[in-house]
Amino acid sequence: MNAVLEIIELTRSVRNTVGIKTKQPLAQLVVIPSEKVTLSQLQKYSSIIKEEMNIKEVEFRKDSQDLLQLDLKLNFSKVGPKLGKPVGEVKNIVDKLDEENKKKFIGDKEIQLSLNSGETVTLTTEDVLVEKKGRTGYELSEGSNFIVLLETTLTQELKEEGLVREFVRAVQSYRKELNLPVDLRVDLFVQTDSWLQKVLIKFDELVQRNLIINSVHFESKPDMKSFTVEGIEIKLYIKS
C-alpha cells in the first residue's frame, strides 16, 4: 500500500502541475517501477489507483523508453576544468544529440565525441545533467521508487464526462444545502442548454450511479437553484 500511495501522490503532483482537476477523467497512466519493486505485486491494486485518480487505464511496465524524452545539459562545473577551451564545441554536440544517441549514452554511461580538431573526448553520465520528460501528450513525475507518465490529452468524450462529474458534484452540494438524508431518493429537475442536456442524457448511467435519484426531468420548476459548471448555467430543483 505504501507503493500505491507513492504512485497516487506522484500522479496527483502531475495533475496539479498541468492544472487538471481530479474530477476530470484521463485516459491512461503508465507506471514504471524501480528494479526493487515487482510488477505482480502492484497490478492487483490498479483499481484503487484508477478510482482515486480518475484514470481509465493504469499500465505497469518495466520500461518506458518509447514514452520518454531526455534533455541532456553539460554540467559545466564538472566538465569546464576537465575540457578547457573545447567545452563550447562539446556543448553544441551534446545539445544536438538525437533521442537514440541520448538513450545509448545513458545506457552505456559514456559517449565518445569527435571534435573539429580531430581530437576525441569521452563524456560520462556524471558530466551531464539529465532531465526526463514525457513525450508529447504525456507528463512525467519521478519518485524514489517509480516513474509515472500521465496522458493529459483530453478527447471530447473525456471533456464531456468531466463536465458530467462536475454536474454530479453540484447536485450533491445542493442536497447537502437542503439537509436531505443521504439515502433519500429524489426527483431531479434540470434546466440548461440543449447541448449539456444531450450530454447528461448520454451519461445517464454515470449520473444514476453517483446520485440517489428516481429520475431526471429536463423541465422548469419555480424557485430553481442556479449553478455554473465550467461556464454553463444549470438550474436545479430537487423534489423529495
Distance from C-alpha of 173 to C-alpha of 225, rounded to nearest angstrom? 11
pLDDT at 37: 72
Distance from C-alpha of 168 to C-alpha of 198, rounded to nearest angstrom? 15
SS (H, E, C) 23-64: CCCEEEEEEEECCCCCHHHHHCCHHHHHHHHCEEEEEECCCC
Amino acid at 157: E
pLDDT at 137: 92
pLDDT at 79: 84
pLDDT at 193: 94
pLDDT at 15: 97
Q: What is the CA angle 206-212-213, rounded to 5?
A: 90
Amino acid at 151: E
* Sheet strands (E) in 47-117: 55-60, 68-74, 110-114
Ordered mean pLDDT values, 10 residues apiece, the chain (240 residues): 92 96 95 78 88 95 81 87 86 90 89 89 90 90 92 96 95 95 94 95 95 94 92 94
Distance from C-alpha of 121 to C-alpha of 70, rounded to nearest angstrom? 21
Q: Are strands 55-60 and 128-134 parallel, antiparallel or unpaired?
A: unpaired
What confidence tens digit (pLDDT) does each residue in 101-140 have?
998 898 899 999 988 888 888 999 889 998 888 988 999 9
pLDDT at 118: 86
Q: Are strands 146-151 and 26-33 parallel, antiparallel or unpaired?
A: antiparallel
Q: Which residues contact 121 (CB under 8 A, 6 or more apart)?
A: 83, 86, 90, 112, 113, 115
What confidence tens digit (pLDDT) does each residue in 155-167 have?
999 999 999 999 9
